[in-house]
Amino acid sequence: MSVPLSVLIFLPLAAGLVGAVAPRGWARWVVLAGTVGVLGLAIWILADFSLGSRGLHNVTNTQWIPELGIRYSLGVDGLNLFLIALTALLWVPATLAAALREWDRPRLFFFQMALAETAVLGAFCAQDLALFVFFFDLMLVPFYFLIGSWGGRQRVRATTKLVIYTLVGSLLMLAGAVALGVLSTPHGGHVSFSLAVLSHRILHKGTQEWIFLLFAAAFLVKAPAFPFHGWMPDAYRAAPIPVLVVFSAVLSKVGMYGFLRIVLPLLPQAAQHYQTLMIVIAVVSILYGSALAFSQDDARLVVGYSSVAQLGFILLGIFALDLEGKGAQGAVLQMVNHGLVVAPLFLIIWALAARTGGSESLSRMGGVAFRAPVLAGLFLIVALATLAMPGSANFVGELLILFGALSTKLAFGLVAGGGVVLSAVYMIRLYQRSMHNRVGGGVESRDLTRVELATIAPLVAVILALGFYPHFIVRRTEAATVSRVFRAAALAHYGSRPIPVSALTHGRGEAP
């Protein structure tokens, strides 16, 4: 039995609205119940997704604004299946962590958290370009209030930067979406923003190239990737940790997902044309993010800049454009992996700050592990997964990305490989300085509470499970991922030469 995706998307918003009119103390639990319900639906969709499935499942496709060719179109395939599951999973511990502390205007806070989940799920499920743009822009609204109203010091500066960067990117993408829908319409035809329809329409190479730049600007800002990351340090410092968990672990994936869902299938010639530029951005992001992560004393910014590096790896995999799609498969796997490790990292930083008088400075965190073996053990597992230790799903993801990059852009792949070494340096430094140095002044060396354990341990369990069986994700995403990158990869590999039948078969997600 299929799950209506509209229920999945709007259940958090419905819970937020109920919580907004419920008694003051009930809002948090109503919204938490909504996130748990979404997780249950996501697990149902995941269990119902058959191995090797092609095409969309759980489809909703009705007219929305027929005069403009806009449809309310939703669907699930291998490309967005695990990103939906990741969103549903991570919103539960983030909401639980928020529910167990007091907030000013709690009903409004939890309504904004619920609206944010609806916006992200809508962006992942949308199969109409205009609908995707709507949800993509909607994501900015709740996070503007969550950071601007409940953030820390300099939250006004942080939200100002966030709005300027993100809004400019969103407006550029809106212009690109309108241009894509209108300019691809054949003479005498009807405008359509359906991704399925647009994939069969033809745009001239020059038109593709300038539209590509509009989408790329929006997606690289959302990631963020170098040099579009200027909003990131202030926003990461100001955001409350429960908000930062989903902001960093989930929202950053929407941009990378947009490249795979929209840009590569609809603008393949432009993707091939700008392949080297995007790979340069990816490699610079890897090296820059790693270097800055190593030099930070603020634990949040260590994880923040490490995310810039990890998203550089994901971008590298997407634009490796290898015919077998190994780079893109690694990118999809790494999107999930990054979300699963960055969420417990921020929750662990929150727990450490509670033991250091509220400070998140590494210089004041030393010695916490002496009487906190559970905290130290869970932190070690997450740290080793983050640095892609063999035996972790992160290792498999980075390996697939590097295989894809080395097969098409050998020099860039070799340079990017240095980022693997750098990630080990900054993660070991983060772990050692916070856990095993001399006990800092005013540090309370105590283990996790039951509440802290309830938010962190389930995520660590998922990390361990995927370490044992990463193929669970790879096998279910392969067909959809390969088909999305194939046209651009074929242009990069064959140019104007005929494409062999064996390559065409593999491009449909079949074994050659």
Residue 360: pLDDT over 70 = yes
Question: CA-based angle 218:165:314, to the nearest 5?
Answer: 45
Question: What is the pLDDT at residue 496?
Answer: 54
**Is residue 72 classed exposed, middle or buried when 0-12, 13-18 and 19+ CB atoms within 10 A define those classes?**
middle
Residue 162: pLDDT over 60 = yes
H/E segment holding residue 245:
helix 241-246
Question: What is the pLDDT at residue 510?
Answer: 40
Is residue 295 within 8 A of residue 305, CB to CB? The reply is no
Residue 255: pLDDT over 80 = yes
Q: Using one digit for the tens of pLDDT, what is the confidence trace for 282-298?
A: 999 999 988 888 888 88
Q: Using one digit for the tens of pLDDT, what is the confidence trace for 122-149?
A: 999 999 999 999 999 999 899 999 998 8
Residue 4 DSSP one-character state:
P
What average pLDDT is seen over the chain?
A: 86
Band of pLDDT at residue 2, cut at 50, 70 and 90: low
Residue 500: pLDDT over 70 = no
Residue 470: pLDDT over 50 = yes
Question: CA-based angle 254:258:260, to the nearest 5?
Answer: 120
Query: Which among 487, 443, 418 is positioned nearest to 202, based on CA atoms?
Result: 487
Spatial CB neighbours of 371, under 8 Å, sequence gap ≥ 6? 445, 446, 447
The stretch 304-309 carries a mean pLDDT of 89
Global pTM reads: 0.91
Please give the biggest Cα pair distance in the chain: 75
Least confident of 203-207, 208-212, 335-339, 406-410: 406-410
